[in-house]
Amino acid sequence: MKKIIMVSAVYLALVSAMPVIAAGDASAGKAKAAVCAACHGADGNSPANMFPKLAGQGEAYLIKQMTEFKNETRKNAVMAPMVAALSEQDMADLAAYYSSNKVTEGGVAEDLVEAGQAIYQGGNKESGVPACMACHGPTGAGMPAAKWPALSGQHAAYLEAQLKAFASGARSNDPSSMMRDIASKMTEDEIKAVSAYASGLH
């Protein structure tokens, strides 16, 4: 209960401190997304599990990630040059386009469902890992207003890679080290199982 109250307090603080984001034009974003299609798919449903699906993701979250790739708060050798020339309006348009599309449903191996569900819905009290659904929602839809991403339908391999990156500190663009703290307490088996489970949510 204490964790849920703390998460709610962080959420309210983030929402109240958020800057106004430029309104995006999905039609303009579709045209600008042509260069992104090779990795992320024409509609944001990436065909390769090493690249994230962007379809259906919250606009504010997408803008945050593009901005942080550009200013190198989130370091990525592939994305940095792709976003270097993007303006704030470009980012808003791309985010509007991708968020307007529907993410394709993911699947989950039967042998990982039980373990993944346990972590996603209840966390691990012994190691201090909170339930993933406290921030990402019971169906994996995320909390767009807080810039917490949707996980439903995302490639399990991509989710697993990001959790491992947070755990090692290789990815560090999470507010107040929230994800780094959580992922570092998770075992590899827990990361694999919850990534698969989250991917299959819808």
In a shared domain, residues 94 and 115? no
Mean pLDDT in consecutive groups of 10 residues from the start of the chain, 202 residues: 47 45 89 98 97 98 98 97 98 98 92 97 98 98 96 97 98 97 98 97 88
In a shared domain, residues 123 and 90? no
Which residues span the domain enclosing 193? 2-8+105-200
In a shared domain, residues 111 and 77? no
How many domains are contained in the chain?
A: 2
Q: Which of 56, 81, 100 is the last residue of a domain?
A: 100
What is the reported pLDDT for 108?
A: 87
Residue 157 belongs to a domain = yes
What is the reported pLDDT for 107?
A: 86
What is the reported pLDDT for 21?
A: 55
Residue 34 belongs to a domain = yes
Residue 19 belongs to a domain = no
What is the reported pLDDT for 94?
A: 98
3-state SS track over the chain: CHHHHHHHHHHHHHHHHCCCCCCCCHHHHHHHHHHHHHHHCCCCCCCCCCCCCCCCCCHHHHHHHHHHHHCCCCCCCCHHHHHCCCCHHHHHHHHHHHHHCCCCCCCCCHHHHHHHHHHHHHCECCCCECCCHHHHCCCCCCEHHHCECCCCCCCHHHHHHHHHHHHHCCCCCCHHHHHHHHHCCCCHHHHHHHHHHHHHCC
| CATH number of the domain enclosing 49 | 1.10.760.10
Q: Which of 82, 100, 118 is the last residue of a domain?
A: 100
